[in-house]
Amino acid sequence: MIREKTQKEISIPLLSKSANIIEKYQKIGNEVRVLPGISNQKFNSYLKEIAEIVGIKKNLTHHIARKTFATTVLLYNDVPMEIVSELLGHSKITITQEHYAKVVNKKVSEHIQKLNQKLE
């Protein structure tokens, strides 16, 4: 795949749940396809609809979903910053580090607490 913003070629391995969803919807009748590409505006519209259905009061956007993926899914599960940076398509790791410094600081505290418990 080619990133639209940077024109860099990328290859991203999928989690098994994501691969299962794509596989489920890839073949409908005789038509073989991958999930359709949609604009950020349409994506945001779908997120707003989902938030309303499940009772989330926050205004969900593509940007918030991206940040949630980076923090809650990746960084809080100890995925290295270099990989997070690559998955987000940042041209430099420092961009990722600047945007997610608070998360990194929280993880540092957690790791030091774990180390402290081991050393007691």
Per-residue pLDDT of the chain (120 residues; tens, 9 = 90+): 787 777 888 888 888 998 888 888 777 667 666 777 788 899 999 999 999 999 999 999 999 999 999 998 999 898 999 999 999 988 899 999 988 888 777 888 888 998 999 998
- The H-assigned helical ranges of the chain are 16-26, 40-54, 62-68, 81-88, 93-99, 101-119
Q: What is the pLDDT of residue 119?
A: 93
Q: What is the pLDDT of residue 102?
A: 81
Q: What is the pLDDT of residue 115?
A: 92
Tell me which residue has tokens 């098994």: 16
What b/e sequence results for 51-61 when a residue is b if at least 16 CB atoms lie within 10 Å of its CB, and e otherwise? eeeeeeeeebe
Quick: pLDDT tens for 62-89.
Answer: 999 999 999 989 998 989 999 999 999 8
Q: What is the pLDDT of residue 28?
A: 66
- pTM across the whole model: 0.68
